[in-house]
């Protein structure tokens, strides 16, 4: 065999298997090869390295994730195959096929057939490897797509000088197991282990960090001139510490760890001083905050707990009207409190007539209801709870106002308007998402906002919603 095995860290077996399955001679390599591995397990990297190290093996690449549905995928297969053949054999007389004609698998075969027939003048048989990188990332994937590709070689003449061979990289192991009886040669890329992740990152990133501008300029600013080994040490320490701190957060995902590393590097460099540059421990302590928060968020400011900032954030987080905010709160209460205890919770009027009001809940619930999905409620209930919790306008003492007063909020036009707006903002939704008839008495509603946001909203209007949920459950 004349293939070279590429050197990829911790992928010896996979590289070995690739080089035994892929070769220049069409008779020696199977028509289909499957490669499976989860995100950032080095599938594409190993494959690219393999083809780089074996430039005599022809290949072309497609990424189905960009092609969305099967039709563009087919057209791109046709286009990529013909264009890479033109590049490979410019001397061959070739009449251009319209790749967009490949609107169906049958037409794809026809296009490929005419394309490959043009290359009958070649003196020996060659392989063209078509790599479908991430086939299961295709948006409109179905069960029959892969078998169609698997059988493509049977429909093309096996005597053509150019033989198409397909390599599929696939993320989802469950997808692959649906085709296990086809017995296609498969190479699995397992997830990296903790130590392997550490070694790969040290290998890949330390050079970048040693030569980064931020580090060099900072060290120059401190006015000392350490050896190169110090730079190395600083970078390596940093990488190790980040992995140690965030490995459980990211798992064995190299891409995620790299992102975290890159985002924190500048802050880390900024904390270097002449005192701690020689002492890793002191350096660690000087920026300990970096290792305790992921910083994986766009909203929360990482360190400064200034009140001003927080207030501003609250005010701007949801620019809703007062009515809307109370409507949301009421909707939350409707969805998560049981209707049978409403009268106990919300009724405030002293009863002029005789009669017992509800006793309220006697036993506590098993689980916190807020953890579960919201239950549906009728619009009438929403309005009555809304009225019960909406703050009363200022009482002007005076005789006339006693009789004329309009103490409790009524469901006026604004309330309905606000409700409609909340519904279009998807903060309150209906039971059936499609074509809801808002005027129907059958229509039921539910809140579509998690607890964290509701508490934020309630704190902006100084409404203690948590009080309604205290003592509900064990």
- Scanning residues 188 to 217, which ones bind other proteins (CB under 8 A)? 188-194
Return the residues of window 412-431 that contact other proteins according to CB under 8 A: 426, 429
* DSSP assignments along 150-192, one per residue: HTHHHHS-TT-SEEEEEEEEE--HHHHHTTGGG---EEEEPPP
| Residue 258 CB contacts under 8 Å (≥ 6 apart), including other chains | 201, 204, 205
Smallest gap, in angstroms, from Cβ of residue 104 to other proteins?
6
Select the span of 100-108, 312-320, 380-388, 457-465 touching other proteins (CB under 8 A).
Answer: 100-108
Map residues 302-341 to x or -, x wherever contact with other proteins holds by CB under 8 A: ----------------------------------------
Q: How far apart are CA 443 and CA 430, in angstroms?
A: 7
Per rule CB under 8 A, is residue 244 in the interface with other proteins?
no
Select the span of 133-141, 226-234, 417-425, 461-469 touching other proteins (CB under 8 A).
Answer: 133-141
Tokens (6 digits) for 195: 């130590």
If we measure between CA atoms, which residue out of 336, 232, 309, 324 comes closest to residue 277? 232
471 backbone φψ class: left, alpha, beta (φ>0; ψ -120 to 50): left
By CB under 8 A, name the one of 93, 123, 124, 297 that touches other proteins.
Answer: 297
Phi, psi (deg, nearest 5) at residue 191: -70, 150
- The three-point CA angle 13-18-22 to 5° equals 160
Return the residues of window 378-397 that contact other proteins according to CB under 8 A: none
Smallest gap, in angstroms, from Cβ of residue 155 to other proteins?
6
By CB under 8 A, name the one of 450, 459, 464, 466 that touches other proteins.
Answer: 450
Smallest gap, in angstroms, from Cβ of residue 36 to other proteins?
6
Q: How far apart are CA 206 and CA 284, in angstroms?
A: 17
If we measure between CA atoms, which residue out of 283, 249, 282 comes closest to residue 267? 283
Judged by CB under 8 A, the number of residues near other proteins is 87
Select the span of 85-93, 211-219, 404-412, 444-452 touching other proteins (CB under 8 A).
Answer: 444-452
* Contact call for residues 415 and 323 (beta carbons, < 8 A): yes
Question: How many C-beta neighbours within 10 Å does residue 216 have?
Answer: 13
Q: Which is nearer to other proteins, 305 or 406 (CB)?
A: 305
Q: Which is nearer to other proteins, 235 or 260 (CB)?
A: 260
If we measure between CA atoms, which residue out of 276, 241, 273, 279 comes closest to residue 260? 241
By CB under 8 A, name the one of 305, 373, 404, 406 that touches other proteins.
Answer: 373
- The three-point CA angle 416-417-420 to 5° equals 85
Per rule CB under 8 A, is residue 281 in the interface with other proteins?
yes
Residue tagged 């696939």 (tokens):
170
Per rule CB under 8 A, is residue 255 in the interface with other proteins?
no
Per rule CB under 8 A, is residue 42 in the interface with other proteins?
no
Q: Which is nearer to other proteins, 153 or 384 (CB)?
A: 153
Per rule CB under 8 A, is residue 106 in the interface with other proteins?
yes
Select the span of 27-35, 229-237, 354-362, 409-417 touching other proteins (CB under 8 A).
Answer: 27-35
* Contact call for residues 173 and 35 (beta carbons, < 8 A): no
Per rule CB under 8 A, is residue 301 in the interface with other proteins?
no
Q: Which is nearer to other proteins, 388 or 472 (CB)?
A: 472
- Beta strand segments in 419-471, E: 428-430, 445-447
Q: Is 301 exposed, middle or buried (0-12, 13-18, 19+ CB in 10 A)?
A: exposed
By CB under 8 A, name the one of 16, 402, 408, 420 that touches other proteins.
Answer: 16
Q: Which is nearer to other proteins, 248 or 350 (CB)?
A: 248
Select the span of 265-273, 289-297, 356-364, 409-417 touching other proteins (CB under 8 A).
Answer: 289-297
If we measure between CA atoms, which residue out of 317, 319, 458 comes closest to residue 389? 458
Q: Which is nearer to other proteins, 190 or 411 (CB)?
A: 190
Smallest gap, in angstroms, from Cβ of residue 349 to other proteins?
35
By CB under 8 A, name the one of 127, 250, 258, 324 that touches other proteins.
Answer: 250
Q: Which is nearer to other proteins, 170 or 235 (CB)?
A: 170
Per rule CB under 8 A, is residue 434 in the interface with other proteins?
yes
Question: How many C-beta neighbours within 10 Å does residue 473 have?
Answer: 13
Strands 32-37 and 162-170: parallel
Q: Which long-range contacts (CB under 8 A, 24 or more apart) does 62-65 make?
A: 62/130, 62/131, 62/132, 62/133, 63/133, 63/134, 63/137, 64/132, 64/133, 64/134, 64/135, 64/137, 64/138, 65/134, 65/137, 65/138, 65/139
Map residues 47-86 to x or -, x wherever contact with other proteins holds by CB under 8 A: ----------------------xx----------------
Smallest gap, in angstroms, from Cβ of residue 342 to other proteins?
23
Smallest gap, in angstroms, from Cβ of residue 20 to other proteins?
3
Smallest gap, in angstroms, from Cβ of residue 97 to other proteins?
14
Tokens (6 digits) for 343: 């009268």
């Amino acid at each position: 065999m004349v293939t070279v095995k590429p050197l990829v860290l911790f992928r010896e077996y996979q590289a070995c298997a690739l080089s035994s399955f892929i070769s220049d001679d069409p008779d020696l390599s199977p028509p289909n090869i499957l490669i499976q591995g989860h995100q950032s397990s080095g599938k594409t990297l190993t494959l690219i390295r393999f083809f780089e190290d074996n430039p005599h093996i022809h290949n072309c690449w497609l990424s189905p994730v960009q092609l969305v549905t099967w039709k563009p995928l087919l057209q791109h297969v046709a286009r990529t195959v013909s264009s890479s053949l033109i590049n490979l054999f410019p001397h061959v007389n070739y009449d251009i096929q319209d790749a967009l004609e490949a609107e169906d698998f049958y037409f794809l075969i026809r296009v490929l057939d005419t394309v490959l027939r043009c290359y009958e003048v070649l003196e020996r048989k060659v392989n063209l490897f078509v790599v479908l990188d991430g086939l299961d990332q295709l948006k409109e994937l179905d069960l029959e797509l892969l078998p169609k590709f698997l059988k493509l070689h049977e429909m093309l003449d096996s005597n053509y000088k150019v033989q198409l061979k397909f390599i599929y990289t696939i993320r989802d192991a469950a997808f692959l197991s649906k085709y296990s009886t086809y017995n296609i040669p498969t190479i699995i890329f397992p997830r990296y282990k903790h130590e392997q992740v550490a070694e790969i990152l040290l290998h890949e990133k330390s050079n970048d960090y040693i030569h980064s501008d931020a580090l060099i300029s900072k060290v120059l600013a401190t006015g000392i001139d350490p050896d190169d080994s110090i730079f190395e040490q600083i970078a390596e320490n940093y990488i190790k510490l980040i992995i140690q701190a965030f490995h459980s957060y990211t798992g064995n995902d190299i891409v995620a760890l790299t992102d975290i590393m890159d985002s924190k590097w500048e802050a880390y460099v900024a904390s270097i001083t002449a005192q701690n540059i020689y002492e890793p421990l002191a350096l660690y302590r000087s920026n300990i905050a970096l290792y305790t928060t992921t910083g994986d968020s766009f909203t929360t400011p990482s360190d400064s707990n200034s009140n001003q900032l927080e207030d501003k954030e609250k005010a701007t987080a949801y620019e809703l009207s007062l009515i809307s905010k109370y409507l949301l709160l009421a909707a939350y209460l409707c969805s998560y409190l049981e209707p049978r205890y409403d009268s106990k919770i919300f009724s405030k009027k002293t009863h002029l007539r005789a009669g017992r009001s509800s006793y309220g809940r006697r036993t506590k619930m098993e689980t916190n209801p807020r953890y579960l999905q919201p239950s549906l409620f009728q619009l009438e209930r929403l309005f009555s709870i809304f009225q019960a919790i909406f703050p009363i306008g200022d009482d002007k003492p005076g005789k006339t106002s006693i009789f004329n007063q309009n103490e409790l909020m009524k469901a006026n036009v604004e309330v309905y308007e606000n409700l409609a707006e909340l519904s279009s903002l998807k903060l309150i939704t209906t039971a059936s998402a499609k074509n809801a008839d808002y005027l129907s008495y059958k229509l039921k509603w539910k809140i579509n906002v998690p607890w964290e946001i509701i508490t934020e909203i309630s704190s902006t209007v100084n409404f203690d919603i948590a009080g309604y949920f205290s003592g509900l459950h064990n």
